[in-house]
């Protein structure tokens, strides 16, 4: 456990300093992209009637076994390799950079803000006004703080690189096929359910760390009252805590695939006319929590 802690600290520092250098990933395929290609291939090849749910379960088992085998092999090469691999699987710097890109774009125009936020969210962005762009960016920052930083670090401490890589594989699968659509409701069922289980502790842990970083009783209150209002059983935790710290209203109505969904607001009494300043404040939250973790 002590060695894992040292390796994780090194990985966090490396990720924060370097992030995801474009010059490297333009030449070498990022592991997350490789995982995504495997899932995409499986979706095309095996997501057919009959037995879609069973095939989805088998895909999840294959992802877990493959991740554990590859992670164990890399970990056996030594602490330096393990730290490098862990740094690649963490996303603090890239998360902060992507959210900051939305703030810079929104400062130029709403149209630019929509284009930037479309890179990090799955909802429809073409009709968003400025506050909606800001909400989407802040929500993405909060949710991915859990999925991209806290949860991978948590699973690394629990089971080293194999557990961390397995988490990333399942989380990627959930983001690709874990939707309740006619195509993916059965095939992505196992990935979505397992992702919920793997985030069962990291999601509320993220909310607690956000509240702790700012010693915010309001963040605790909003989280306990409103996290359950979120459409996701796990994303509601960090988003509610972020909403409480910033005193903004998050979640709420949004459009997916041309259909408006009337989701309730989280922290409905918070400020709704938000913009660049609130996005930048959210980025500061991301880094302050990172320091607490470190």
The answer on pLDDT for 197 being more than 80 is yes
Query: What is the per-residue pLDDT for 199?
Result: 97
Please work out, in degrees rounded to the nearest 5, the angle formed at the alpha carbon of residue 199 by the alpha carbons of 193 and 203: 135
- Mean of the per-residue pLDDT values of the chain: 94
- Give tens-digit pLDDT for 55-93: 999 999 999 999 999 999 999 999 999 999 999 999 999
Percentage of the residues of the chain whose pLDDT score is greater than 70: 100
Residues 88-131 pLDDT 10s: 999 999 999 999 999 999 999 999 999 999 999 888 888 899 99
pLDDT class of 22 with cuts at 50, 70, 90: confident
58 C-beta neighbours (distance < 10 Å), count: 14
Residue 44 confidence (pLDDT) above 90:
yes
Residue from 99, 209, 211, 198 nearest 152 by CA = 198
Question: Which residue, chain included where needed, has tokens 């990933």?
Answer: 25
For residue 261, the surrounding DSSP H or E stretch is strand 259-261
For residue 20, pLDDT over 90 is answered with: no
2 burial type by CB count under 10 A (0-12 exposed, 13-18 middle, 19+ buried): exposed
Q: Are strands 250-251 and 265-266 parallel, antiparallel or unpaired?
A: antiparallel
**8 Å CB contact between 61 and 46:** no
At how many degrees (to 10) do helices 2-18 and 276-293 cross?
A: 150
The pLDDT assigned to 291 comes to 97
C-alpha 85/C-alpha 71 separation (Å) is 9
pLDDT, tens digit (0-9, with 9 covering 90-100), for 140-166: 999 999 999 999 999 999 999 999 999
């Amino acid at each position: 456990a002590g060695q894992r802690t040292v390796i994780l600290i090194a990985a966090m520092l490396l990720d924060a300093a370097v992030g995801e250098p474009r010059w490297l990933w333009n030449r070498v395929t990022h592991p997350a992209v490789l995982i995504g290609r495997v899932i995409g291939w499986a979706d095309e090849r095996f997501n057919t009637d009959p037995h879609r749910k069973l095939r989805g379960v088998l895909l999840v088992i294959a992802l877990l076994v493959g991740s554990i085998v590859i992670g164990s092999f890399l970990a056996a090469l030594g602490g330096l390799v393990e730290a490098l691999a862990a740094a690649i699987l963490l996303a603090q710097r890239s998360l902060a950079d992507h959210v900051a890109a939305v703030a810079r774009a929104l400062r130029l125009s709403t149209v630019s803000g929509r284009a930037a936020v479309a890179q990090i969210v799955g909802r429809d962005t073409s009709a968003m006004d400025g506050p909606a762009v800001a909400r989407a960016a802040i929500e993405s920052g909060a949710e991915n703080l859990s999925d991209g930083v806290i949860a991978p670090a948590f699973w690394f401490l629990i089971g080293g690189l194999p557990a961390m890589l397995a988490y990333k594989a399942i989380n990627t699968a959930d983001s690709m096929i874990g939707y309740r659509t006619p195509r993916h409701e059965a095939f992505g069922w196992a990935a979505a359910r397992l992702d919920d289980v793997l985030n069962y502790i990291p999601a509320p842990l993220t909310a607690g760390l956000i509240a702790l970083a700012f010693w915010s009783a309001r963040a605790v209150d909003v989280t306990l009252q409103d996290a359950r209002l979120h459409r996701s059983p796990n994303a509601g935790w960090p988003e509610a805590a972020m909403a409480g710290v910033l005193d903004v209203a998050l979640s709420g109505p949004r459009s997916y695939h041309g259909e408006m969904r009337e989701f309730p607001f989280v922290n409905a009494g918070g400020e709704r006319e938000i913009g660049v300043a609130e996005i930048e404040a959210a980025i500061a939250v991301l880094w302050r929590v990172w320091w607490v973790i470190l």
